Amino acid sequence: MRRALVAAAIVATGLGVASQASAAPTKNVEQFVCDGKPTEIVTAGRNGWIDGVRWQAMEFTVTGVADPVDGDPFPVNDHKEWAGGATGADEEVTCVQAINDSDPEEGTFVGRVTVIIRPG
């Protein structure tokens, strides 16, 4: 469960500034739905590439329920915002990813990641 939260945070913050000047990484491909369309995003930190174009995460939210093996279920609601960095304020894309992770030693986490991205 803890791994799911960490992975979700890394994935979601991996969306970045629109630019083709730097080479897009080829690892860490994640499946999101961006503005209603299935989208593959290659993630690296707060940056992410969609079709070779780099984007930047402006907002990141994880919501859901964690149910640890050795305790009671509890809600998870984490939100982070970043200022600056992206110059494409007129173009904003909302991406979501469902999470349903289970680990027999830690428990389960069911929720979703929502990331708002902008080109740079």
| φ and ψ at residue 8, rounded to 5 degrees | -65, -40
Terminal-to-terminal C-alpha distance of the chain: 33
pLDDT 10s digits, 13-46:
443 333 344 566 667 788 999 999 999 988 877 7
The whole-angstrom separation of Cα 49 and Cα 25 is 8
Which residues partner with 94 through β-bridges? Answer: 116
User: pLDDT tens digits for 43-77?
Assistant: 877 788 888 888 888 899 999 999 999 999 999 99
User: Six-digit token pair at 87?
Assistant: 């110059």
Give the position of tokens 């992206």. Answer: 86
Q: Using CB atoms within 10 Å of the CB of residue 51, give its burial: 0 to 12 exposed, 13 to 18 middle, 19+ buried.
A: exposed
